[in-house]
Structures are given as structure tokens and as C-alpha cells.
Amino acid sequence: MTVLLTIQQLSVRLQDKVVLSSLDLSLHEGDILGLVGASGCGKTTLLNTIAGFNKPSEGSIVIGERILSDGKQCLPAEKRQVGMIFQDYALFPHLTVKENIAFGISQLSRAEQAAQIDLLLTILKLNDYRESYIHQLSGGQQQRVAIARALAPQPKLLLLDEPFSNIDARLRNELMVEIRGLLKQFKTTAIFVTHNKDEVFTFADKMAVMAQGKLLQFDAPSVICQQPNSYQVADFLQLGSWLPCQVSSTGICSLLGELDIPNNYDKQESIVYLLLKPSQLLLNDFFDENNVANAQVEYISVTEQGYHYSLKSVDNSLTDDGLSFNKLSFYSDRALSLKQQVSVKIKPHDYLFFSQSN
């Protein structure tokens, strides 16, 4: 596959504040990239900078062979062939559905325009609304018009700013699958911004996690899920809960027992954090007398996967060493009561340790 978008060392300052710093990113033709991060991390700024609504202070953005901006030049937004679907859709209220879609293709001949509009209306199931005004449409229909309008000029790259945030939760999944199919059908390369990681898992081929203007990790969603590269990434994506551990020459020790040091272990700190997914915790049988209670139920909620428990460490002699934990989450079918003391152990697996500093 050929590379479509290349971003190198991109920095953006807005009102003297560094919003993006030294960002590198490249995207293949036809890829859909999901950009996640807490609000204010710079993801929308990145989108606006690619679209040409912000001026970078350093770095370059290249699509195919075409330089959109580098140190010397900055192509105006209308010449970039980059489409955008806005969070509020930004549909023109004074134009009909058809006129909205035709807006960006006035340079085509009438026949070509009509053909393009017909094609899009059919694919997006909007044929009945051709002459409707925007306020006459439902939220989902409006979004489809926004997509049709953005696709009509056949942009090289499509940007979507939180496209699903205004959609009813029940419709959202269905719509995401539908739009993903469409983008694939048109072989459109796309970047979409969201703060909801689940949307990325459903919608995107690639995932980028951002924090404070920097790109933390960029990979396939499944890879990031299995191998988050930092505490921040795992914590933001809520891939599991954290168990503090103490490292010594003999091994790694936690309030839930001793752990083997993994082969590729490279941490220098004496306190590290083990990422624990709920499925990696096991409840010990209490009838066995060897089991001493090591956790206490702090919070219970009922979910479709059974009870969800949040555990806190029980006070013991080691607690002072900063190894106490809380909000350790796991699922079980067994009914436990609040404040009940239990014994849990860690299922052996490829342990992922992180230090909090990076």
C-alpha cells in the first residue's frame, strides 16, 4: 500500500500556547485512523491543522506528493482536497439536501454533478429527501447528508470531528458499521477524532493515542490493547486496573503475592505498577484454610457479565510500603457483600509492568 499522508515534526502554537509538539504520523491509502485522547490533548487541533484551519509553527504535512504545509508555504483550506465532517455537521440551513451535496462540486458539469449526487443519494439512502431542508431531517439522516456532502468532491483525505457524539447510543454502533463500509467502498482515507475508545475499536484500522499535544502510541487497535507502551496509554484507555509492586533482586512482590520477573524486564524503579485486566484476577476458595483475606469489597455493580467488584487492599504489615491498592476490578458470578473480605490471586500471564513516571 502507498503512503498517503505524512506528517513530520508538526508543532502548533495557538495564542502562544504549544498545542501540538513534534508530532510524526503517516497513514496508508484507505486507512481509517481513530484519534483518541482526553479533551484538550490537541486532537481537534491536529484535525484543524491538517484541514488548513490552523497554521503550524513547525513541521510539514504532505498528502501523496503534494505539500499542504511546510516551513515555507501553507496551502489555503479550500485548495487542499481535504474533506471534513464537522461535529455539528455544519450543513447549510438555507439549502436543500441536494444543494448541500452539490455545494463542493460546482466546477463539474451539470450532468456530472447530477450523476454524482444521484450516486451518493442512493448509496446513503437519501433519495426520498433530495428536496428536503436540513431541519426536516433526523440526526442520523443529517449525518448521512454531511457524509455525502464531504464525499462528493472526492477528497483525498476525509476528517471526521467526533462524528458520533450527537447520535443516540443505540443507533451509534449500527451507524458506525454502515459508515465504515461506505468509506471502504469509496477507498477513502480518513481520520476521526473521538474521546471514546470503543468507537475506535469498531471503526478504525489504526489508532493513535494523544496526550498534551504529543502522540503516545500509534498502531493497530488490537496491538495497543494488548501492548500499551506506557502507563498513560493503558490508564487513558482503561485497559485494566493497577496493582503496585515492589521490585527487589529476588523478585517482585505485591499484596497479592510474589510474581516472577519477566524476561524482558527493564524497569529501574523500586515501585512499579502491574496492569491487571479483570480476567487476570481469580477469587480463591475460602474453604481452604491457607487463604488469608487480602482484599475487601469496596463497591459492587451489576453488569451483563455478572457482578463487577471493586477491591481495596486489607491493612497489613506491608501496607506502609506504598503497595496498598484500591479500585482493583474484577467480575464474578458469585454474590459478595459490601466490605466482605476476600482472597484473590493473580492468574499467571505475560505480566505488563509500568512505571508511573513515563
Partner 1 sequence: MIALYNSKTWKLSSYLIALVLIVPVLVMLVGGISASTQLFQHLWQTVLPSYLENTLLLAFWVVLLALIFGVFSAAIITQTDIVFKKQLRWLLLLPLAMPAYLVAYLYTDLFDYAGPVQRSLRAWFDWQSPGDYWFFDIRTLPGAALMLALVLFPYIYMLTRGAFEQQDQNLIRASRLLGLTAKQSFFKVALPLARPAIAVAASLVLMETLADFATVQYFSVNTLTTAIYDTWLGYGDLGAANALASVLMLLVLFVVLAEQKSRTGLRHQSARPNLQRELIQLSLSQQVIASLFCWALVILGFLLPITLLIIMAVQYSDIAQLSVLMSTGINSLKVSVFAATIAVLIALSLGLYQRLHSDKYRQIPQQVSGFGYAIPGTVLAMAMLSTLGPLDHWINGLAELLGFNAPGLILSGSLFAIVFALVVRFSAIANGTIISGIKQIPQSLDYAPASLGVNLKGSLAKVHLPILTPAIFVAWLLVFVEAMKELPAVLLLRPFNFETLSSQIYQLISDEMLEQGALGAILIVLFGLLPIVLLNKSKEKI
- Rounded CA gap, 62 and 33, in Å? 16
Tell the burial category of 8 from Cβ atoms under 10 Å away from its Cβ (0-12, 13-18, 19+): middle
Instruction: Quote the DSSP letter at residue 264.
Output: T
Hey, what amino acid is at 305? Q
Strand partners, 18: 13
Q: Which of 43, 98, 144, 149 binds partner 1 (CB under 8 A)?
A: 149
Q: To 5 degrees, how large is the angle CA 302–CA 305–CA 308? A: 45
Q: Which of 23, 32, 82, 191 binds partner 1 (CB under 8 A)?
A: 82
CB 85 within 8 A of CB 158: yes
Q: Which of 10, 19, 31, 48 binds partner 1 (CB under 8 A)?
A: 48
Number of residues that bind partner 1 (CB under 8 A): 33
Q: Which of 2, 16, 39, 78 binds partner 1 (CB under 8 A)?
A: 78
| Nearest in space to 341 (alpha carbons), one of 239, 255, 253, 259 | 255
Give residues 83-102 in contact with partner 1 (rule: CB under 8 A): 83-84, 86-94
Q: Is 133 in the site for partner 1 (CB under 8 A)?
A: no
Residue number, 14 or 123, with CB nearest to partner 1: 14
Among the listed ranges 52-60, 128-136, 271-279, 321-329, the one in contact with partner 1 (CB under 8 A) is 52-60
C-alpha count within 13 angstroms, C-beta hemisphere, residue 252: 24
Among the listed ranges 80-88, 205-213, 226-234, 311-319, the one in contact with partner 1 (CB under 8 A) is 80-88
x-marked contacts with partner 1 along 178-197 as a string, rule CB under 8 A: --------------------
Cell of 258: 510474589
CB of 305: closest distance to partner 1 in angstroms? 38
C-alpha count within 13 angstroms, C-beta hemisphere, residue 292: 8
Q: Is 153 in the site for partner 1 (CB under 8 A)?
A: yes
Q: Which of 81, 132, 166, 196 binds partner 1 (CB under 8 A)?
A: 81
- Rounded CA gap, 352 and 218, in Å? 18
Count of CB atoms within 10 A of residue 119's CB?
Answer: 13
Among the listed ranges 51-59, 223-231, 262-270, 297-305, the one in contact with partner 1 (CB under 8 A) is 51-59
Q: Is 104 in the site for partner 1 (CB under 8 A)?
A: yes
Binding site for partner 1 (CB under 8 A): 14, 48, 51-55, 76-79, 81-84, 86-94, 103-104, 106-107, 149-150, 152-153, 159
